[in-house]
Amino acid sequence: MEISKVRNIGIAAHIDSGKTTLSERILFYTGRIHKIIEVKSKTGSGPTMDSMDLEREKGITIQSAATYCKWNDININLIDTPGHIDFTGEVERTLRVLDGAVLVLCGVAGVQTQSYTVDRQMRRYSVPRIAFINKLDRAGANPDKVVNQLEEKLGHKPVLVTIPIGIEDNFEGVIDLLKMKAIYYEGAYGEEVVEKDIPPHLLSDAVLRRKKIIERVADYDEIFAKKYLEESEINNEDLNAAIRRATICLNITPVFIGSAKENKGVQTLLNGVGLFLPSPDEIQNKALDLDENNNEIDLQTKDDLPTVALAFKLEVGKYGQLTYMRIYQGKIRKGDYLVNMQNKKKIKVPRIVKMHANNMEEIEEAGAGDIIGMFGVDCSSGNTFTDSKVNYSLSSMLFPAPVIELAIEPKDRTHLMNFSKALNRFQKEDPTFQVYLDKESGETIIKGMGELHLEIYIERIKREYNTEVNIGKPKVAYRETITQKTEFDYTHKKQSGGYGQFARVVGFIEPLTEMNENHYKFVNAIVGGAIPKEFIHSCDKGFQEQLHEGLLIKQPIVDVKVTLNDGAAHSVDSSELAFKLAAHHAMKKAVAQAKPILLEPFMNLEVVVPEEFQGPVISQLNQRRGVIHKTNLEAKFVTVVAEIPLKEMFGYSSNLRSITQGKGEFTMEFNKYIPVPKSIEEEIIKEYKERETAKK
């Protein structure tokens, strides 16, 4: 397979923008499936890419689904991702391994809450994208408004390459501004693409818009700008090549329009995937050379080089664990030996498959740039594999911390084994789903990204493991932090026959102002060897261990900077353990004196309701400590954008339904942790102490 003809792409968007419907149409037009099934079909079956029963019942995508197809001479590896914010971890790991993406936007709602999140994820991994404005057949559709939002809200430089012929009920087809042709989609399912001359009443607008494309592309591509300024004739080949270069460099975003449900615009979008999104060898991927101080190394998309691959997703099914893997360099054959760079374990590749949703096709080998499935590989999400000729590691994915937790136990103790198997499996498959045992109560606690996230896993335990469960009330995952600088000087001394333990640590803690992913910073300011170098790491470890459990309600302590500037050691009695314990106790005492406070997760909230319910909805949000940022009225629907504490959002779904007669909907995503108001903090601490007393 010629590498320049391969596209590894994902489809990502805000929930209910039509991603899965678009994926279904792509599979139909590329001949992968021979029948279209709608997302909310009443037949009992569901779209190809939503293979889980729960996905079909709820009409949402829960897990990323991978498939491959061919359009003209382009081979496409396609991943459909979830839109609901609770499953953002699925989107994160998908975008980590893709070369390009299609950002789907609703033609009516435009840029929504989750659009921001998906866009941030694409930027994090420098993923070139094209946009598809969907649902142009719906009342209130306005592609120009959405293009403006792309520019103003997301900071894109959009280039509208197709425009509609008619709109809403009169949406008939699109005008391709590159070919300067009207495109109609005829036949029962829009499978017959017919090119005609542009209708006379739309011609002048099309000419003007094409000129805008040329001017914008000239702003970002020097080769093309030179031709434009010389007033040379601009042919389609030159224009397409310039759009492609500017797209891959993340300078512009080509925008296509259509309606996947009405079978219009999808084939033209597929042409755009081939024309403007990169092949694997056009993206620069890097690895860390573990033999050379973690220096960055450029990987090359070639089969004849040492193999480097990333396991980005795990799934357990009837055939065992299926590991989704992206090959960045080299080749993988059935029977080859690979080394897991995280644990140095050697594995033999027993079986390689190409995935088509929940179906698979066995293959003998796969090369650089491929996305494959492998069975019989024991690993975790984010592990790097090589053929042992190089000692490289790929950077893993960034997963958000869970913000909600609840206690869970099997109703029947005889199902404890199945219960444990389920939790172990789901925790391994989904890094945003976490499980821990509360030491004091003995309860099993599950943590996740939201109520729906945990609800789905509870339902899967019931269905897939035949285990009914009892669940406690959802609880917010609070954090603790310090508010002032405090010095510490702690000596750990123990003597009980033979060698004793001695360690002294001196320094100070203070609030961390320069934030990082770990929410913690350790500064070694020891001079003159007051603490031997070999014990410094143990001090760091001891400080961090104490931060796992705060003093107010035993939640993790975050945003702390520790400076170690003095201490003492004993030639015989000092050890790594002694310094770790000294640091642990020093941190505990210092935190108690540093005026600790509670932090709570604040969420970004977007509520969409009919205009007549605006008053009650805003009133309800105010009662829940919401901060209203703006309201926007469009097509008799009001969008309320707010920030609100997660604590106040439990039960909001049913409240919203009752005050809007079932017509309101909302989306919510984690924004940041902020201090809890003093009166509410006292309430939370009091409740915590009462629970602890009741346990005893």
What letters, b where the CB count within 10 A reaches 16 and e where it falls short, cover 513-523?
eeeeeebbbbe
Query: Which band of pLDDT confidence, cut at 50, 70 and 90, is reported for residue 261?
Result: very high
- 73 phi and psi angles, rounded to 5 deg: -105, 15
Those residues with Cβ within 8 angstroms of residue 257's Cβ, 6 or more apart along the chain or in another chain: 107, 132, 133, 136, 143, 160, 162, 163, 164, 174, 265
**34 vs 27, 40, 187, 404, 547, CA distance in Å?**
8, 18, 14, 42, 56
Q: Residue 633: its pLDDT value, please?
A: 85
What letters, b where the CB count within 10 A reaches 16 and e where it falls short, cover 497-508?
eeeebbbbbbbb
- 484 phi and psi angles, rounded to 5 deg: -145, 160
pLDDT over 50 (residue 647): yes
Alpha helices in 497-611 (DSSP H): 533-547, 576-593
| Length of the chain as a residue count | 696
Answer with the residue of higher pLDDT: 96 or 524.
524
Q: Residue 463: its pLDDT value, please?
A: 86
pLDDT over 70 (residue 498): no
576-593 and 533-547 helices, crossing angle to 10° = 40
What is the bridge-based pairing of β-strands 475-476 and 469-471? unpaired
Q: Residue 544: its pLDDT value, please?
A: 95
Pair 4, 99: CB distance under 8 Å: no
Q: What is the pTM of this model?
A: 0.70
pLDDT over 60 (residue 329): yes
pLDDT over 70 (residue 381): yes
3-state secondary structure (DSSP) of residue 10: strand
Pick from 51-55, 554-558, 624-628: least confident = 51-55
Q: Residue 87: its pLDDT value, please?
A: 57
Answer with the residue of higher pLDDT: 692 or 281.
281
What letters, b where the CB count within 10 A reaches 16 and e where it falls short, cover 69-99?
bebeebbbbbbbbbbbbbbbbbbbbbbbbbb
pLDDT over 50 (residue 696): yes
